[in-house]
């Protein structure tokens, strides 16, 4: 008996052409289409004039964005979706369009043009991929990803910042927004931000802009080698463990353990899929990024994190999903 | 009042990263993952061994393909979806994985790395883009797209081939499968296939393989300049009009009109969206391909086709959706 559903070749055709969605979003953000529409330009002609672009180009681009649910269209007039209004209009406080600077950085994309070879050999294009020491890619990351991370950073701060004295170590801080959110939430907190020296200047600048520079200090260096100082009440490891294999993660967890005060907590912010490793879609799919651009990175389930933290000496680990992010946090406590 | 739906930044994050879907499908087709699974290899280890690839790479790739609905996963075992079983297993008669050769050709992808500039200027990267004379890209097209087009070609042949003598002109024939399907359906039909000389050899080879070479002749040259000969009872214009603006389309329609016998028909096979130009998704979205790689190409609605054919002298045009393709046909009749 045949399957009741007729197999649809269009699914595969659309999958093969999915790269066009990335390119269209990038072009629309760079041409500030969403900002132009928010400002009241509703027709292809008006948007093209505002964007100093060709009308045919804008018309086809905007129709494409409607098809992909990033715009709406009614009687030839374009309008924003709830998502594009909040996150892609430059005048919106939650704008994060700049994230394409990192997410579509040519140094990351190069791997996807060679993905077959990477999967065949199990090796990244360059020896250490995106985790090579002092990789300038992370300056782009620090600069362009901060706005995308702020909602999660604030949510985490609400959960862990408390009210009393709090000595915080922000590992591989990059843009620094996770530590900065804690400083803004708790006026008695102090943050030491670690990262490669070339990246830390971005965190320092963000701390200055947030008015918390006097409680924000830095310790430049590679997280695996640098002297953390301490002891700390709280260590933040945000978007970091996924770059490494389990052995390396455990090594870092031990080093953090040693820098924690008794009862101190390590907060892991990461893409954490279910045990099936294919759900929820966003955290599970993130593994592809690690395959493409790191020698041994991956996403880890909560069971895997729990196990690694236990091996590293922590008394307990708890999983907390977040409202404002597809990533979750694990809070691991030193007894 | 706030919208009842919480705006979800993940939609935008996933849109920006959509290019990974294309890269993953390409890698899976090139590594023959679907063929390996069809042959009974169900675990990452077994598939990696068959594909001579790294287990970590295959595991992350296969999980990603599950998330994107191109594989299923159950208890750590992978299996094919109805679509991947039919269209992506090399042993399946309907296999069309080779289509990535054209659809992901680096010469086409280059435009998407520069889409902002193309939209701004309204100009393709090279003066004529993919429609430059004798562009070798179309040899890759002719070679790799044929299997994807066969179901539609057969469906169209059923509609128009009839039983009697039939003189057919297959314009810009490429792989030639549309004319060849008519030759197989109607033993009294004769096809003249036109295309640039460098591409026509593929059509000739396909006609030979289909056992219809004795009724398949060629007329090399650019469709806009070549002498069509004739008269013909049927002219096929498949995947062609979308490369040109309406003025150019009408010019070609007139030239075809002159080559048609009285009562002859012109059959247009193309991506034809509704009047809103944003539905159905696949034909509407196809315009992006034309924006990226042609100076003035586009998708045309049936109203636009009807109007152009009327201007070119045709008595009537009728739209026929197809079961086996997201493209449709328009049959236009010379009075």
B88-127 pLDDT, tens digit each:
999 999 999 999 999 999 999 999 999 999 999 999 999 8
CA distance B328 to A1: 30
Q: What is the pLDDT of residue B111?
A: 97
Q: Do A31 and B120 touch (CB under 8 A)?
A: yes
CA distance A168 to A193: 8
Q: What is the pLDDT of residue A286?
A: 98
Does the pLDDT of residue A64 top 60, yes or no? yes
Of B9, B151, B289, the CB nearest to A87: B9
Q: What is the pLDDT of residue A62?
A: 98
Taking only residues 38 to 97 of chain A, the set having a beta carbon closer than 8 angstroms to any beta carbon of chain B reads 51-58, 60-61, 63-64, 66-70, 73, 82-88, 96
Q: Do B86 and A298 touch (CB under 8 A)?
A: no
Please list every residue in chain B whose beta carbon sits closer than 8 Å to the beta carbon of residue A148: 9, 13
Residue the block writes with tokens 């054919």: B309
Q: What is the pLDDT of residue A5?
A: 55
Does the pLDDT of residue A134 top 90, yes or no? no
Q: What is the pLDDT of residue B2?
A: 41
pLDDT digits (tens, 9 = 90+) for A137-187: 999 999 999 999 999 999 999 999 999 999 999 999 999 999 999 999 999
CA distance B306 to B253: 11
Of A119, A279, A285, the CB nearest to B58: A119
> How do beta strands A216-220 and A189-195 pair?
parallel
CA distance A64 to A66: 5
Alpha-carbon distance A228 to nearest alpha carbon in chain B (angstroms):
32
Alpha-carbon distance A134 to nearest alpha carbon in chain B (angstroms):
25
In contact, B155 and B325? CB cutoff 8 Å: yes
Residue the block writes with tokens 């979750």: A328
Q: Do B88 and A17 touch (CB under 8 A)?
A: no
In chain A, what's the furthest Cα-to-Cα distance? 72
Q: Which of A6, A66, A103, A116 to mutate to test the interface with B (most CBs of B within 10 A)?
A: A116
Q: Which of B299, B296, B300 is nearest to B118 (CA)?
A: B296
What's the Cα-to-Cα distance from B69 to each of A102, A201, B283, B285, rounded to whole Å? Answer: 27, 42, 21, 21
CA distance B212 to B187: 9
Helical spans, DSSP H, in A88-176: 100-103, 106-112, 115-121, 137-160
Please list every residue in chain B whose beta carbon sits closer than 8 Å to the beta carbon of residue A292: 20, 23
Of A13, A52, A115, the CB nearest to B27: A115
Taking only residues 120 to 179 of chain B, the set having a beta carbon closer than 8 angstroms to any beta carbon of chain A reads 120-122, 148, 151
The token duo for A284 is 């599970």
Alpha-carbon distance B84 to nearest alpha carbon in chain A (angstroms):
8
**What 8-state DSSP symbol labels residue A125?**
S
Interface membership of A8 toward B (CB under 8 Å): yes
What's the Cα-to-Cα distance from A212 to each of A143, A185, A208, A235, rounded to whole Å? Answer: 18, 11, 6, 18
Q: Which of A19, A61, A112, A297 to mutate to test the interface with B (most CBs of B within 10 A)?
A: A19
Q: What is the pLDDT of residue A302?
A: 98
Q: What are phi and psi of A171, to 5 degrees?
A: -80, 140
The model's pTM is: 0.95
Q: Which distant-in-sequence residues (6+ apart) come within 8 Å of B75 by Cβ?
A: none
Q: Do A27 and B64 touch (CB under 8 A)?
A: no
Q: Which residues of chain B have pLDDT under 50?
A: 1-4
The dihedral sign for the CA sequence A219, A224, A225, A227: positive
Residue the block writes with tokens 């429609």: B131
Angle made by CA atoms B20, B23, B24, in degrees to the nearest 5: 85
pLDDT digits (tens, 9 = 90+) for B167-218: 999 999 999 999 999 999 999 999 999 999 889 999 999 999 999 999 999 9
Q: What is the pLDDT of residue B78?
A: 98
Q: What is the pLDDT of residue B5?
A: 55
Q: Do A57 and B148 touch (CB under 8 A)?
A: no
Between chain A and chain B, the number of residue pairs with CB atoms below 8 A apart is 252
Q: What is the pLDDT of residue B235?
A: 98
In contact, A223 and A243? CB cutoff 8 Å: no
The dihedral sign for the CA sequence A127, A128, A129, A133: negative
Q: Which of B69, B152, B286, B288 to mutate to test the interface with A (most CBs of A within 10 A)?
A: B288
Helix (H) or strand (E) holding A249: helix A246-259
């Amino acid at each position: 008996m045949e399957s009741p559903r007729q197999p649809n070749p269009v699914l595969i055709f659309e999958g093969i052409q999915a790269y066009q969605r990335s390119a269209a979003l990038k072009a629309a953000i760079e041409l500030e289409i969403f900002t132009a529409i928010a400002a009241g330009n509703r027709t292809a002609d008006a948007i093209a004039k505002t964007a100093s672009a060709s009308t045919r180009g804008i018309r086809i681009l905007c129709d494409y964005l409607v098809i992909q649910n990033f715009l709406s269209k009614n009687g030839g007039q374009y309008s924003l979706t709830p998502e594009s209004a909040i996150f892609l209009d430059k005048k919106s406080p939650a704008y994060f369009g700049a994230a394409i600077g990192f997410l579509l950085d040519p140094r990351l994309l190069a791997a996807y043009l060679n993905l077959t070879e990477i999967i065949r050999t199990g090796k990244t294009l360059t020896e250490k991929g995106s985790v090579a020491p002092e990789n300038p890619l992370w300056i782009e990351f620090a600069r362009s990803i901060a706005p995308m991370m702020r909602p999660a950073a604030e949510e985490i701060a609400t959960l862990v910042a408390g009210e009393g004295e709090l000595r915080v170590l922000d590992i591989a801080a990059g843009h620094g927004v996770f530590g900065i959110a804690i400083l803004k939430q708790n006026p008695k907190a102090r943050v030491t931000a670690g990262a490669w020296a070339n990246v830390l200047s971005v965190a320092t600048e963000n701390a200055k802009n947030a008015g918390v520079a006097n409680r924000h200090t830095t310790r430049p260096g590679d997280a695996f080698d640098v002297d953390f100082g301490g002891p700390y009440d709280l260590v933040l490891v945000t978007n970091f463990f996924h770059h490494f294999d389990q052995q390396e993660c455990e090594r870092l967890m031990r080093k953090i353990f040693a820098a924690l005060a008794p009862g101190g907590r390590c907060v892991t912010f990461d893409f954490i899929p279910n045990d099936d490793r294919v759900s929820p879609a966003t955290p599970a799919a993130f593994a592809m990024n690690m395959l493409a651009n790191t020698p041994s990175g991956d996403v880890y389930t909560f069971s895997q994190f729990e196990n690694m933290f236990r091996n590293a000496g922590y008394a307990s680990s708890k999983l907390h999903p977040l409202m404002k992010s597809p990533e979750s946090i694990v809070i691991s406590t030193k007894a």
